[in-house]
Amino acid sequence: LSCIRGRVVFNSPIVFRSQALNNLSSYGERDKGNRSERERMSGMVDASSWGAALVRISPYTFSAIGIAISIGVSVLGAAWGIYITGSSLIGAAIEAPRITSKNLISVIFCEAVAIYGVIVAIILQTKLESVPSSKMYDAESLRAGYAIFASGIIVGFANLVCGLCVGIIGSSCALSDAQNSTLFVKILVIEIFGSALGLFGVIVGIIMSAQATWPTK
Amino acid sequence: MYGFEALTFNIHGGYLEAIVRGHRAGLLTTADYNNLCQCENLDDIKMHLSATKYGSYLQNEPSPLHTTTIVEKCTLKLVDDYKHMLCQATEPMSTFLEYIRYGHMIDNVVLIVTGTLHERDVQELIEKCHPLGMFDSIATLAVAQNMRELYRLVLVDTPLAPYFSECLTSEDLDDMNIEIMRNTLYKAYLEDFYKFCQKLGGATAEIMSDLLAFEADRRAVNITINSIGTELTREDRKKLYSNFGFLYPYGHEELAICEDIDQVRGVMEKYPPYQAIFSKMSYGESQMLDKAFYEEEVRRLCLAFEQQFHYAVFFAYMRLREQEIRNLMWISECVAQNQKSRIHDSVVYMF
């Protein structure tokens, strides 16, 4: 009877929800072995079907995407910042060649943002471990997967805006230095504060990645 | 989106903006002008200018120099800078830079037509034209007898063609009509430029609106003052005012009925930005008005450089250079004619 009910149940999610509630009350002590799965699914039964679909995504997917975002979006931010600074620097250096060597610091600050992304990506990929497929959807596995994903997003987007910030300030720095060389150091201080944003992202990202503990075998 | 131009402006405009700011650093300062005002003759002026960016343009000129040579060579520098920027620009910046030339084209057209009316030689007139406003077939302007011919023969192929729609009459060209034509063309040009800048949006739209509105208002005041006592009717005068600016529409209505300078002053003092200009002059005095307007224009143009990532810096640089060339012309003329006491009457200091 339960099998027939089970087959009918999986046709529609709404039926699944209400029928599963009935199933719980009628099964009682009988299927102890599947208790953990049913317990887990009972918690998810109240969630929408989207919630149920999300927790069925492998935690490795989330981890991989997190690592990809960490390096990909950081490099996007660094590249964006470098071209903003570089185009202004080249043009300004035609009339004032003395500014070139000092203003390469702005480009170096942008580059540091990409390096942060690479470092965190390497750290994150060492956190990946294999778990047996019976435990793949345990709460702890999911937590590890989400931790790596979150770490990747944190680092990626913090570095994106940091790269943009440093790039725009670097462009203004080059143009101001060309007009009045006493302004360079003052604007550099602004840039240093801007580059601290990327550092915040890296720190929090690394702290998050320490949460990535997979269930032991 | 306003405020976020910094993210994408440098893709196409970063290099040129840096170049134009480098040129701006080469504009003459008050110290340079003081040195120039101390000069005894034109060779001294040439020596002082050789230390500035004009040096390479003036060094091969044989003495004795003429003031027209100095002005011509300095204008050549402006044209070289402009052409260098224009050939490197992409859309929409190249369209923006082209717009800056149309004012000079209109002036050249009017110069040739007026000169032909007064029986001058075409070649002589072409040499007097501003180089930024040259176009092919400009010499054919001398052949036209009335405005319709002017349009059909020459101007339909130039970028000025769309500005002629209000001007097309079959009347013969005489002094009055030519002035009206100049002002009508300029009005259409300013409105077109204004609409183009509004379409660009962002910081460019905001800063250019301010600069163009000032230009439109200044022209309205000049048209009013120059047409006091002439045959120009009030309706015609009102048609020459542009459709934007501080004075539009109520100031225009009041200016259209003004009959002397004090009435103009009365109208302008109701607008706070212009009140400051008019308060510098005492009653009945109008010769200082030009200089006061130039000073206000230079102040606004210098302010355009305070913001980054917009196109108005190009417009501001061209205008500041033109003002500088006007200054140099005045200084050279005063020195050449030994009237150094009058030098400070008309020099507008920038930095």
> What ipTM is given for this predicted complex?
0.87
On whether any CB of chain B is under 8 Å from the CB of A83, the answer is yes
| Cβ contact A95–B22 (<8 Å) | yes
Closest partner residue to B22 among A80, A92, A168, by Cβ? A92
Q: Confirm if A60 and A128 have CB atoms less than 8 A apart.
A: yes
Over 70: is that where the pLDDT of A51 sits?
A: yes
User: Does residue B92 have a cis peptide bond before it, meaning omega lies within 30 degrees of 0?
Assistant: yes
pLDDT tens, chain B, 351 aa long? 678 889 999 999 999 999 999 999 999 999 999 988 888 888 888 889 998 888 888 888 887 788 888 899 999 999 999 999 999 999 899 999 999 999 999 999 888 888 888 888 888 888 889 999 888 888 888 887 777 787 888 888 888 888 887 666 667 777 778 888 899 999 999 999 999 999 998 999 999 999 999 999 999 999 998 888 888 888 888 888 988 888 888 888 888 888 888 888 888 888 888 888 888 776 656 667 888 899 999 999 999 999 999 999 999 999 999 999 999 999 999 998 888 888 887 888 888
Split at pLDDT 50, 70, 90, the class of A4 is very low
Check whether A138 has a pLDDT greater than 50.
Answer: yes
Contact with chain B for residue A168, Cβ under 8 A = yes
Q: Residue A27: pLDDT above 70?
A: no
Query: What is the predicted pLDDT for the residue at A107?
Result: 96
A80 touches chain B (CB under 8 A): yes
Please state the three-class secondary structure of chain B as a single string: CCCCHHHCHHHHHHHHHHHHHHHHHCCCCHHHHHHHHCCCCHHHHHHHHCCCCCHHHHCCCCCCCCHHHHHHHHHHHHHHHHHHHHHHCCCCHHHHHHHHHHHHHHHHHHHHHHHHHCCCCHHHHHHHCCHHHCCCCHHHHHHCCEHHHHHHHCHHHCCCHHHHCCCCCCCECCHHHHHHHHHHHHHHHHHHHHHHHHHHCHHHHHHHHHHHHHHHHHHHHHHHHHCCCCCCCHHHHHHCCCCCCCCCCHHHHHHHCCCCHHHHHHHHCCCHHHHHHHHCCCCCCCHHHHHHHHHHHHHHHHHHCCCCCCCHHHHHHHHHHHHHHHHHHHHHHHHHCCCHHHHHHHCCCCC
Looking at residue B235, its pLDDT comes to 86
Chain B residues closer than 8 Å to A164 by CB: 7
Contacts A–B by Cβ distance under 8 A: 62
Question: Which pairs with CB-CB distance under 8 Å and at least 24 residues apart come from B296-302?
Answer: B296/B214, B297/B214, B297/B215, B297/B218, B297/B323, B298/B323, B298/B348, B298/B350, B300/B210, B300/B211, B300/B214, B301/B211, B302/B350, B302/B351
List CB contacts of B46: < 8 A, sequence separation 6 or more: B58, B61, B63, B65, B70
Residue in A87, A96, A178 nearest the CB of B14: A87
Give the one of A164, A171, A178 whose C-beta lies nearest to B14's C-beta. Answer: A171
The reported pLDDT for the residue numbered B284 is 53
- C-beta separation of B58 from B50 below 8 A: yes
Q: How far is B286 from chain A (nearest CA, A)?
A: 38
Q: Are the C-beta atoms of A99 and B21 separated by less than 8 Å?
A: no
Kindly tell me if the per-residue pLDDT of A212 is higher than 50.
Answer: yes
Task: Report CB contact under 8 Å: A95, B25.
Answer: yes
Residue of A nearest to B24 (CA): A179
* Disruptive mutation site among A171, A173, A176 for chain B (greatest number of B CBs within 10 Å): A171
Q: Which residue has the higher pLDDT, A12 or A104?
A: A104
A94 reaches B (C-beta below 8 A): yes
| A116 has a pLDDT exceeding 90 | yes
Q: Which residues contact A73 (CB under 8 A, 6 or more apart)?
A: A117, A156, A157, A159, A160
Q: Closest approach of chain A CAs to the CA of B25, in angstroms?
A: 6
Residue of B nearest to A84 (CA): B10
Q: Mean pLDDT score of chain A, rounded to an integer?
A: 84
- Asked if A161 is an interface residue toward chain B (Cβ–Cβ < 8 A), one would say no
Q: Which of A87, A88, A178 sits opposite B25 (nearest CB)?
A: A178
Instruction: Please answer yes or no on whether A92 and B16 come within 8 Å at the CB atom.
Output: no
Res. A172: pLDDT tops 90: yes
pLDDT above 90 covers a percentage of chain A that reads 68
DSSP conformational letter for A212? -
Cβ proximity of A54 and A138 under 8 Å: no
Give this prediction's pTM: 0.87
Q: Which residues pair with B146 in a beta bridge?
A: B172
Nearest CA to CA, how far is B63 from chain A (Å)?
Answer: 30
Q: In this structure, which amino acid lies at residue B91?
A: E
Closest CA to B335 of B43, B69, B27, B71: B43
pLDDT score of B155: 82
Q: Do B18 and A96 touch (CB under 8 A)?
A: no
Is residue A1 over pLDDT 60? no
Predicted local confidence at residue A37, as pLDDT:
58
Type of residue found at A2: S
